[in-house]
A and B are shown apart, each in its own frame.
Chain A
Amino acid sequence: MLVLIGVPIVVIGFALRLNALLVVTAAGIATGVAGGLHTVEIVSAFGKAFADNRYMGLVWLTLPVIALLERNGLREQAKQLISRVHAATTGRVLMLYFVIRQITAALGLTSLGGHAQMVRPLIAPMAEAAATKRHGELPDAVRQQIRANASAVDNIAVFFGEDIFIAIQSILLIKGFLEQNGIVVEPLEVSVWAIPTALAALIIHCVRLKLLDHRLSRSLYVPGTARRQGAAS
């Protein structure tokens, strides 16, 4: 029972709004101690996991390229481009990205999107520009909401697309775990069952994006403002 100490530490630490990095570290150390590990073993376990998972930090290598492009107007140009497309709305821009992201993830190409290299420089500015074109200058709260939705699309599309691909990490993990327990399954047998949820995610989230468009039109449409009436027609 005592080895479960890490769970309440994480929950309480989070409730008290302590630094998450510190809370996770404390939970790890406490779990190790409760599990009867020696100090050296605990610290080494941290070190090994930290070293083995350095690949998670490689995504930051895209930052200098993106910073350079942004410094020279990438986001402005993304907005410019979308404001010339008449049919563009925030919801439609995000739906299109959802579909592309989900299909490419299902083909195993999960690194084609991402928050640093796609959402921040391209998708979020485009989604914002689509709303600006229809409704004029946006209040800050609305801009933030649109950006948050752009990130949400990236996450949801990739999560519920990638498992259709047979060689993705999570499918291999499922296969490996079942094998350890004496059950042999082919990756394809597993990944094919990711398809119903993928379709459900597509439908549910696209409906929500449609509703987002409705909400934007309702909250931002002010009758009597010539520019906005013109844009809405």
Chain B
Amino acid sequence: MIRLESLYVVAGLMFASFAVFNLLDRANPRRVINFVFWGVYAVTFLFGGVLPHFVMGCLAIALALIAGTGKLGRSPSAGESGEAAMRREQGARRFGNRLFIPALLIPAVTLVGTLTLKYVPFIETKNVTLISLVLATLVAFAVALAMLRDSPTHALKGARHTMDAVGWAAILPQMLAALGALFAAAGVGHVVSELVTNWIPQNSAFAVVAAYTFGMALFTMIMGNAFAAFPVMTAGIGLPLIVHQFHGNPAILGAIGMLSGFCGTLMTPMAANFNIVPAALLELSDKNGVIKAQWPTAVLLLIVNTLLMYCFVFRF
């Protein structure tokens, strides 16, 4: 049976290899702390299903403390050598468009897998997309190794340099999910809804709609995730005011409310996997470069969403 847990083992082994490569990298004075960081992360993947939640929590907090020291760092050997550039030029000439085959196999096999794996008996059906993605990656890896006659060690070493560039930002989405869980457990949603009902003018339908869409965007910016903001803002403003008081349509409220949250996602460094990680992957010197490219679209769309909701939510 292929389950999510099996995929986590594969990922755990990869992170463990990043840890070991870091430890063996004598050129990097920060190799030990890098080793500990990726080692702990590997353990959370390999044993996350069996360790008690308390132990997992300790490991997660340990990762945050290691990142907080500011001592994680890339190896100087990650820099460009002329030899590597020459290899790439030669590779492009030698393999030509065949280089695209493994890269495009990832989406192609994912697509096929998503459509067909549901009918295969030994696959956990509710996670079929993630399973397809990982299987596609493994297929692409095998094809790339055979085609390029290169070694998996080089692949993992290259991947490790990229991972070191991304660093702790890779883990932030998981930590934000934890923050969302604690907000829920502590009853933050309830308090926010009390505050909001006391503060916004409740007799103007437009004010209420704007408070909801802009509130979704703002709270998403703080939480880094529209999914965490949605229950809080919808319980606080959406349902009591827009639906119950002004008789708005809850389906429209939900759809456009969530999309207003996505506008917030485009503007916050807290949404690390969308905004900060790409900046590291693309080697941007300004880590907010992606946000700067996005914010005008995000602001315009937030205004559009507010108007759309005002026009539709009371009419259908």
Contact = CB atoms under 8 A, between A and B. Distances in A.
Contact of B293 (A65, A149, A171): A149
A169 B177 CA distance: 14
Nearest to A191: B255
Interface residues of B, number: 145
The DSSP consensus for interface residues of chain B is: helix
Contacts of B45: 54, 57
B242 interface: no
Contacts of B92: 72-74, 76-77, 80
A75 B278 contact: no
Contacts, number: 434
B251 A151 contact: no
Interface stretch (A85-93, A119-127, A224-232): A119-127
Interface in A23-46: 24-25, 27-29, 31-32, 34-37, 40-46
A185 B174 contact: no
B111 A74 contact: no
A181 B239 contact: yes
Contact of A10 (B162, B174, B270): B270
B259 A53 contact: no
Contacts of A40: 54
A71 interface: yes
A22 B171 CA distance: 11
Contact of A50 (B14, B56, B68): B56
A1 B10 CA distance: 44
Contacts of A16: none
B129 to A, nearest CB: 6
A61 B168 contact: no
Contacts of A115: 277-278, 281-282
A156 B134 contact: no
B145 interface: yes
Contacts of A183: 239, 243, 250
Contacts of B279: 148, 151
Given A35-B185, A44-B57, A21 B171 contact: yes
Contact of A148 (B114, B289, B308): B289
Given A72-B150, A77-B100, A31 B182 contact: yes
Nearest to B44: A50
Contacts of A122: 100, 103
Given A22-B67, A72-B99, A177-B234, 10 more contacts: A3-B186, A21-B68, A36-B186, A50-B174, A51-B49, A53-B174, A60-B15, A69-B148, A71-B88, A72-B95
7 contacts: A3-B186, A21-B172, A61-B14, A76-B92, A120-B278, A147-B283, A163-B255
> Ordered nearest first, which 7 A-B pairs have the shortest CB separation?
A35-B186, A67-B158, A47-B56, A73-B91, A47-B57, A73-B92, A72-B91
